[in-house]
Amino acid sequence: MSFNIDEWEPTTKIGTQVKEGTITDIDEIFEKGLPIMELEIVDALLPDLEEEVMDVNLVQRMHKSGRKVNFRVIVAVGNKNGYVGLGQGKAREVGPAIRKAVDNAKYNLIKVRRGCGDWGCVCGKQHTVPFKVTGNTGSVDVTLIPAPAGVGLAVGNVGKTILGLAGIKDVWSSASGQTQTTVNFAFAVFDALKELSKVKATKGELKGMGVL
């Protein structure tokens, strides 16, 4: 279903500012550290988001009323230009589980710091991670390493999807732990991307990495 901003009735101050045109860039929200409480904010400011289903898994658990069966779905969203989100949803049917996962991914949306951090590459374009970074979820550790232009995404298929949606074209990587567990591997890659924004660097250092 396509988003129609005219039919949207905001319930938060940020939502109202977005609809009125006071806020026109999602970076204004991220820079102030404000929480996104309405999905329509993301739909209005990033209308070109793409969705990719990463994993569909049948989950069973015993309940006093009998065996309960749900589908757990992992979905990544991104605009292939610096914004990506990862989420999961559970429901008795696949369709509703996917919709829940998409919504969750939008709420988890982050801005990804990109650059040209490999010493052997001087293109100056934002095509890789600006520096080595590690993410962790459960038993899985994933390290992303800057790579020169043309290398491509040297990471598992799950990582390729998430990094591609984030707009990263080249990267080397290493991983340890139960990497065959899709959910943990996916969230470890996503955690690494979040860690990029936590590293403190001077303006001069960032410029040298091609970030600015």
Domain ranges across the chain? 5-45, 133-208
pLDDT tens-digit profile, the chain (212 residues): 577 888 999 999 999 999 999 999 999 999 988 889 999 999 999 999 999 999 999 988 777 777 888 999 999 999 999 999 999 999 999 999 999 999 999 999 999 999 987 677 777 789 999 999 999 999 999 999 999 999 999 999 999 999 999 999 999 999 999 988 899 999 999 999 999 988 765 445 545 555 54
Q: What are phi and psi of 174, to 5 degrees?
A: -140, 150
Please state which CATH class domain 133-208 belongs to: alpha beta
3-state secondary structure of 177: coil
Spatial strand order in the sheet of 140-145 = 133-137, 140-145, 172-176
Q: Are 173 and 145 in contact (CB under 8 A)?
A: yes
φ, ψ at 93 (rounded to 5°): -125, 155
User: Could you tell me if residue 33 is left (phi over 0), alpha (psi between -120 and 50 degrees) or otherwise beta?
Assistant: left
